[in-house]
Structure 1
Amino acid sequence: MTKNKKTLVLGATTKPEKAAFKAIEMLVDKGHSVLALGQNMGEVAGVKIKTKAIPIKNIDTVSLYINQSRQRDYYNYIVEAKPKRVIFNPGTENPEFYQLLQLNNIKVEEACTVTLLTLNKY
């Protein structure tokens, strides 16, 4: 790992069988700062899941675990946070959002956060 990449997991959940849960666990395990936003409050690996979008700064990565239609509610929130990149995990692909992010100089990455962490390519 080269450095701590402050990451927002959008679509966080306390369900251990879900990829968002595994991503939070692995991010914490690898020493990254994690913020979590989900539909229900809870905690994963010591990270409290918030249910309301709070202002965020100095964010490196947003890892999406919500479908295309739910993403629209977060377009402005994510663009205003100015992350370096947004990871679209499998099932979250959204060409409309890609364009908006790219217009704002935010890197779009179609990938799996868990796989990137496993391969040390995060």
Structure 2
Amino acid sequence: MKTTLIIGASPRSSSYANMAMHALDSAGHPTLLYNPLGRQIDDRKVFTALNEIEDDIDTITLYVRPSRLEAIVQDLIQLKPKRIIFNPGTEDPELMQKFADANTDVLEACTLVLLRTNQY
């Protein structure tokens, strides 16, 4: 299985990022968590700086609004993900184009729906 990086990881069980983390884990997809606040999530490591990540990242799934992404776009691109998923509420045409220009497959989709429909 290929590693997924969750941007905007949250300890709140009602958050979509948290639901996606559990759904990805249940489906056997390894996940890494990023949140600059570094809150503890289920006894798992939460990265607070993207340059700390040494794993190969297949997919990045986004759970933060575009204004929060702008500051980390170049750091995300440097991780060389194969694809990035802009979940509902995270879409931004300019940011999407930056990833496309970096040869990253860009999806405007819902990670949870992709998992439930075996399209992940």
Q: TM-score, normalised by structure 2?
A: 0.91
The 5 Å alignment of 1:54-93 reads 54-93=52-91
Aligned to 1:28: 25
Residue 85 of structure 1, CA deviation: 0.4
Q: Which amino acid is the alignment partner of residue 37 of structure 1? A: Y
Identical positions, percent? 37
Question: Which runs of 5 or more structure 2 residues have no equivalent in the other structure?
Answer: none
Distance 2:46 2:118 in 1: 25
Distance 2:110 2:16 in 1: 9
Residue 100 of structure 1, CA deviation: 0.9
Distance 1:6 1:55 in 2: 12
Distance 1:48 1:120 in 2: 27
1:121 maps onto 2:119 in alignment: yes
1:12 maps onto 2:29 in alignment: no
Distance 2:46 2:115 in 1: 21
Report if the CA contact (8 A) 1:37-1:50 is conserved.
yes
Question: Which runs of 5 or more structure 1 residues have no equivalent in the other structure?
Answer: none
Residue 47 of structure 1, CA deviation: 3.4
Question: Which deviations, in whole Å up to 9, do the C-alpha atoms of 1:49-79 show, x marking residues without a partner?
Answer: 2223223442100000010110011111111
Count residues in correspondence.
118
Distance 1:40 1:58 in 2: 21
RMSD: 1.3
